Structure 1
Amino acid sequence: MTTTAPPGSFTAGVHDRLSRLADDLPELVRGPVRTLIAGPGKFARPRLLAACAAFGTPDPGRLVRLGAVVELAHLASLLHDDVIDEARTRRGAPAAHTAVGTEQAMLAGLACFALVGTEAADLGEGVAGAVSTAVATLAYGELLDVERAFDTAFPLPAYLEVVRCKTAELFRLCCLLGAAEGRCGPGETDALVRFGAALGVTFQILDDCLDLSPSGSGKPIGTDHALGLFGAPTLYALRADRGGELARLLLSPSFGVRDLPEAHALIKDRGGLEAAARLAADWHGQALDALRGLPAGDPRDRLAALTTSLLDVPS
């Protein structure tokens, strides 16, 4: 399969490393992984890692390998998420499980996680420990997410705990690994880690809003709602759903994508979208507060610019 690397020497290097790692996978699972690598992703997590490392003096070769580790962990989670969420598409193409079957897609995800562990171990004990902790947290977050399905009274604090584990943890890991590779001091490292965790929560809240309407990002709509996985806008709206109309619609056995316009209207009418926007703004503010704790200069400016681009259209 011919793939096209994203522009930029760093992202091109990460893409090349991912392709080389995928080539070493067994033939049974190589195809789904290479398809995801070739997809139009934004390489958000490797770019975040590199931006954090720029506060110090990273080794370029190690930085590329670290970027591949975090992107591969992300791809592994996508393979498994699409099976659990029954998503039909991913990045504008058929999801792996629809193309090769559920078992093969799950094996491909496991193979990616195995590669993540191998690469992390080869990069050193500190990297291996941080990555293994993050992967365990991601898995725990996925379990929390599945357990809360169709809970129309799911509390907002519990939702945020799911988000911190399932999404923000990988953002936090990128910042931690970047700071470590850049040999940043304790103060800078702490600020970068807090920044990454808050950015990840913001990212997921905004992503939840995309489940309600088309975005042009290749993200399938309605998947989360059809599985009873209600994001911030819906949870806020359900709290204001005095007559129970929204809850009845969402819990209807026949609920599907065709019902999204009605659900969207009810959620908007009950203030769910506005409340979610305020929540995202609050977490974005926390990320910016952490950013302001870093030394002024080009690295901070570039990290701020990257933050703006990442929160434009999640991928």
Structure 2
Amino acid sequence: MKLTAPVARRSPSVTSQLGLSDRIFSTAADRGLAASIETGLDDVTTSLLGELVFADEIANVTSRYLLNAGGKRVRPMLALLTAHLGDGTVPDVIRAATAIEITHLASLYHDDVMDDADKRRGVPSAQVVWGNSIAILAGDLLFSRANQLMGRLGERAVRLQGDTFERLVLGQLHETVGPADDQDPIDHYIQVLADKTGSLIAAAAQSGIIFSNAPAEFEEPVVLFGERIGVAFQLIDDVLDLSPQPQETGKVPGTDLRAGVATLPLLRLRERAATDARAVDLVARLEADVMNSKGATTEAADSAISALREHDVTTQTLAEAHGWARDAVDALKPLPQGSVKKALTRFAETIVERSS
């Protein structure tokens, strides 16, 4: 059967992505920023389609599979936003944003293999369609293409890409191995989130500063912002993972737990179990019926996931996500007042509003 690749979906407007209403984007400068980023995202999409072209058909189709499935383009958007603290969306910023999005796509292929995920972005995951080996190789192709793109931007870009990729791998490694005996499980988990998610978001924000020739003193604030908002993003995902509405999340409730990933609600529940007999019982149910279920959907698993969703450790996780988002906004204090700072602040708020 002939393989074909559908056209990639256009990204939603920056206004909807950032949660910025007309009231928020009220000034001419704000509206100009929105229009510039809309154009920049279109340029990134065009660049993605141009870069993800390979000589043979299977490489072409598999490497574009998740690109064509959609996605919010959060990382390119942040690069384009911070670039407006400098020269704006110049060609080097578009190239860096493209490379970072390709890196993100590559990591999704590998994550889905390791997690044995059934779906990604509302479609069957790549390894379900083609098997683990082809999914891994497609991810490798994407990592290679991202590295080539960064190589065109010079030594600084190569170092940024190399450091970020190392953190992505270490985050996945530490998640797989788990905490050491003398390590606090929650501290370990937060560091995994910072490495697996925060590092690439931070690199996107940093690349906008670097490749737009923005003042160097803005790098540290946007890196801190990116790391912290990455942790907030993943903690909200921990809450959404328990959602009883898979049509909205695109996942079966408890997908991460069924894959054996101890998310923050479960870690907080284990912490409670030291003094709470009911927590001990629920931990036992989750570990027996969900964590060791090999992804099977059973009445016992569904019941345990529902109980965790209603437990106040899930509310606590949501509160912690809001705390990380507030800390992300606090990191922006050195940035000048204006449309960029306003948009970044609203973006942080929108991240944690996903659960409401």
Normalization by structure 2: what TM-score? 0.81
2:77 paired residue number: 47
1:5 paired residue number: 10
2:142 paired residue number: 112
Deviation at 1:168, TM superposition (A): 0.6
Distance of aligned partners of 1:25 and 1:277 in 2 relative to their CA distance in 1, 3 Å threshold: farther
1:17 paired residue number: 47
1:97 paired residue number: 127
Residues 157-176 of structure 1 aligned to structure 2 (within 5 Å): 157-176=187-206
2:159 to 129, 132, 135: 129
Q: Cα RMSD between the aligned structures?
A: 2.2
Deviation at 1:270, TM superposition (A): 4.4
May I ask how many residue pairs the two structures share in their alignment? 312
Name the amino acid aligned to 1:69.
A
| Matches of 1:130 and 1:25, distance apart in 2 | 28
Normalization by structure 1: what TM-score? 0.91
Is contact 1:46-1:68 (8 Å) kept?
Answer: yes
2:333 paired residue number: 292
Is contact 1:28-1:104 (8 Å) kept?
Answer: no
Residues 1-315 of structure 1 aligned to structure 2 (within 5 Å): 1-3=5-7, 4-6=9-11, 8-24=38-54, 26-148=56-178, 155-213=185-243, 214=245, 216-241=248-273, 242-243=276-277, 244-252=280-288, 253-254=292-293, 256-258=296-298, 259-268=300-309, 270-313=311-354
Distance of aligned partners of 1:257 and 1:208 in 2 relative to their CA distance in 1, 3 Å threshold: farther
Range moving further from structure 2, 6-15 or 113-122: 6-15
| Matches of 2:58 and 2:184, distance apart in 1 | 39
Distance of aligned partners of 1:220 and 1:181 in 2 relative to their CA distance in 1, 3 Å threshold: farther
- What is the DSSP-based 3-state SS (H/G/I as helix, E as strand, rest coil) of the residue aligned with 1:292? coil
Deviation at 1:285, TM superposition (A): 1.1
Deviation at 1:226, TM superposition (A): 1.5
Deviation at 1:274, TM superposition (A): 1.6
Distance of aligned partners of 1:274 and 1:59 in 2 relative to their CA distance in 1, 3 Å threshold: closer
| Matches of 1:229 and 1:154, distance apart in 2 | 16
Consecutive unaligned residues in structure 1, runs of 5 or more: none
Deviation at 1:194, TM superposition (A): 1.0
| Matches of 1:292 and 1:164, distance apart in 2 | 21
Distance of aligned partners of 1:64 and 1:183 in 2 relative to their CA distance in 1, 3 Å threshold: same
Deviation at 1:311, TM superposition (A): 4.1
Name the amino acid aligned to 1:218.
G
- What is the DSSP-based 3-state SS (H/G/I as helix, E as strand, rest coil) of the residue aligned with 2:109? helix
- Identity among equivalent positions (%) equals 27
Deviation at 1:246, TM superposition (A): 2.1
Query: How far does the alpha carbon of each residue in 1:84-133 deviate from its partner, in whole angstroms, 9 at most, with x for none?
Result: 11111111111000001110000000111111111111111101100111
| Matches of 2:315 and 2:354, distance apart in 1 | 18
Consecutive unaligned residues in structure 2, runs of 5 or more: 14-37
